[in-house]
Structure 1
Amino acid sequence: LALGCGVPAYPPAVSRVVGGEDARPYSWPWQASLQYLSSGEWYHTCGGTLIATNWVMTAAHCISSSRQYRVLLGKYNLAAEEEGSVAASPEKIIVHEKWNSYSVSNGYDIALIKLTEHVTLSDKIELACLPPEQNILSSNTPCYVTGWGRLQTNGALPDELQQGLLLVVGYATCSRPSWWGSTVKTNMVCAGGDGITSSCNGDSGGPLNCQSTDGSWEVHGIVSFGSSLGCNYYRKPSVFTRVSAFNSWIQEV
């Protein structure tokens, strides 16, 4: 059913809507919800990306050694019971060895979650494609950030999966002093910065989805950080871990 990777059974409604919008249900079928247990209830904390039938990629800053996690796949509305969705348990979680939680701007904000068992792929659960190693997106490439993160700074958390169109900002621009300066590194991707659309709290760990020339979707970024001033701040684009800088690390794990 799933054609390799990155080809959803329900293609996303790619529009040029400014600001986030409800995604078409199940159109980002590699999107995961990473949840933690607290007083008997599960809470969404981060996004993730299904990259193999038993591996989910997320951000290192989403992982706390003291928490118990589960991964939901095949979800659209987190508040609803949905047929075909799966709750998977982590067998182990591998955080990049160079990650330093006191210095997010060092990069290496990547972690892999190995699931206890393989999930069965379906029209609602499919694998993402990874970009070619060291592939760099050109400026203004249109990509979509997806997640269940806040709808605005300090805003409400949505139940339905959101998508937001972001244009890639090249490293030369993003590292200018008036943008992110030296905070951004070459192993990161910047996207957005128009002051209107961005990732926000709760999107962390989720994918930056970019369509390749053959029409399939590649996950080029992992939501890492944004401005402490607020989510959609002018000249403070969302910053992502650049997946193509970590192909070999992902394969070695």
Structure 2
Amino acid sequence: MFRRTVFFVLTLVCSFARSEDCRTPTGQTSQCISLYDCPDMLAAFERRPLPSFVVTYLRRSQCGFDGYVPRVCCGPIPEEPDTPVPVQRPTTPASNEGDEGPSDDDAVPSRRGECGVDTNGDRIYGGQFTELDEFPWMALLGYRKPTGRITYQCGGVLINHRYVLTAAHCITGAITREVGTLVTVRLGEYDTQSEVDCSAGVCADPPQEIPVQAGYPNPGYNDRNVNKRDDIGLVRLSRRARYTYYVKPICLPDASARQSPGDEVFVAGWGKTLTGTNSPVKLKLQLPIFDKNECVNKYKDLGANLVDKQICAGGTFSKDACRGDSGGPLMVRKPEGYWESVGVVSFGYGCGRDGWPGVYSSVVSYKDWILNTMRSTSS
């Protein structure tokens, strides 16, 4: 059966046929193996709440990959060090910050040069934990349950001061019946356990929590359709998001943008990990584009007839989007260095099932609808 959305990731869990000598961050000689083959580090990662110093240590311990599977220089994690004095990262000035009224640029996506800018430059991607300031366009969508409690169940990306791109099934349909009403968007989040996120002595700005003014699912979406056709939507914020070092928009793809089988793409989110729990820390994963014809034939056997406006990616064991990453982005880093959101997490068969890619709504296929919706709702 299909699991209503989907996805994410962290990694996984295979035994490797080979290992290599390495040095841990504390200088000890050890072996470079899978995180899930290293009991000390796995136990540390499964701690809740997950301390920020553990995240930093695990990230520094990464020593390579087998395919898409990250390896760590295995060893015990030291006790928490003395708390350093946090250094606040300066915010990036932005025009019209905090302006709650309409603006001309509310009706258009952010332009090249001001969107898709990841300040971390050319670091090696494809691991598990993100950096504190990585993917600053990521958004968490919050829902008010009948009890009044807010729960964050979907993701999305900021595309200008006023709009977040997400999946239609994160706005309408079963989620409103089973979870609650979409009421808020959180921007600039990293670790959901803490009010202020810090790493290596540097602290981010507090997340921006902005009420939702309205949600606009694509009119062609119907959650009774097995293939989740037209599963894309926009959320309009009740006030303009402030662009800072930790909150920035991502670019939308050009009309000619297309992905080919084998092209590398990236996903990010706070969805379920291999251990079955939601990650409190923002995660990332590198995936290949999956051959569309093969993907269509696979899902046809399950009664889902995929259409041209859908993309398939993944298909490698335990590397897939899992519940909690719905509505999040499928991203491409362009040769010029900026990032584009080329897909929206829609659905999949299971979670990380070998040979079964995840299915994403193609952003370029809906770009005209996105632009028209922004223009018609921005006044």
For the criterion TM > 0.5, the same-fold answer is: yes
Which residue is equivalent to 1:63? 171
**When you count strand as a share of all residues, which structure comes out higher?**
1
Amino acid at match of 1:156: T
Aligned counterpart, 2:151: 43
Q: Which moved more, 1:109-118 or 1:77-86?
A: 77-86
Report deviation, 1:131.
0.7
CA distance in 2, matches of 1:130, 1:112: 13
- Alpha carbons 1:12, 1:28 under 8 Å: kept: no
* Alignment check: 8 A CA contact 2:139 2:155 kept: yes
Q: Count matched residues.
A: 245
In the TM superposition, residue 90 of structure 1 has moved relative to its aligned partner by 1.0
Equivalent residue of 2:190, what SS? coil
> Alignment partner for residue 130 of structure 2, among 23, 39, 53?
23
| 8 Å CA contact retained: 2:121, 2:337 | no
- Residue 52 of structure 1: which of 138, 160, 166 is its match? 160
- The question of whether the paired residues in 2 share the 8 Å contact of 1:139 and 1:168 is answered with yes
Matches within 5 A, 1:121-140: 121-133=243-255, 135-140=257-262
Residue pair 1:36, 1:70 contacting (<8 A) in 2 also: yes
Q: 1:166 aligns with which of 274, 287, 305?
A: 287
Superposition pairs for residues 187-202 of structure 1, below 5 Å?
Answer: 187-202=309-324
Q: AA paired with 2:252?
A: L
CA contact (8 A) 2:254 2:364 kept: yes
| Larger helix proportion of the pair | 2
Quick one: structure 1 residues 207 and 113, their matched pair in 2 at CA, closer, same or farther if it must change by over 3 Å?
A: same
2:117 corresponds to: 7
Please state how far the C-alpha of 1:172 moved relative to its aligned partner: 2.4
Higher Cα Rg, which structure: 2
- Please, which of 235, 238, 246 is the counterpart of residue 366 of structure 2? 246
Contact 2:329 2:345 in 1 (8 A): yes
Following the alignment from structure 1 to structure 2, what is the Cα–Cα distance between the partners of residues 172 and 162? 29
Q: CA deviation at 1:107?
A: 1.3
One-letter amino acid matched to 1:215: G
* CA separation of 1:25 and 1:104: change in aligned 2, threshold 3 A: farther
Q: Post-superposition shift, 1:188?
A: 0.8
Q: Distance in 2 between matches of 1:170 and 1:184?
A: 13
Distance change in 2, residues 1:190/1:68 (3 Å): closer
Q: Which amino acid aligns with 1:56?
A: V
Identity %: 29
Q: Match for residue 110 of structure 1?
A: 232
Whole-angstrom CA distance in 2 between matches of 1:180 and 1:13: 35
Say if 1:16 and 1:145 are closer, same or farther in 2 by CA, change over 3 A: closer
Q: Secondary structure at the match of 1:49?
A: strand
Where 1:33 maps in the other structure, the secondary structure is: strand
Measured after TM superposition, the shift of residue 216 of structure 1 is 0.8
Identify the range of structure 1 (100-109 vs 160-169) with the bigger mean alpha-carbon deviation.
Answer: 100-109
Match 1:235 to one of 345, 355, 358: 355
The residue that corresponds to 2:242 in the other structure is 120
C-alpha displacement of 1:196: 2.8
Deviation of the 1:104 alpha carbon:
4.4
Check the 8 A contact 1:12/1:23 in 2, yes or no.
Answer: no
Note the C-alpha offset of 1:123.
Answer: 0.6
Matches of 2:114 and 2:126 in 1, distance apart? 27
Answer whether contact 1:13 1:24 (CA < 8 A) is retained: no
2:299 alignment counterpart: 180
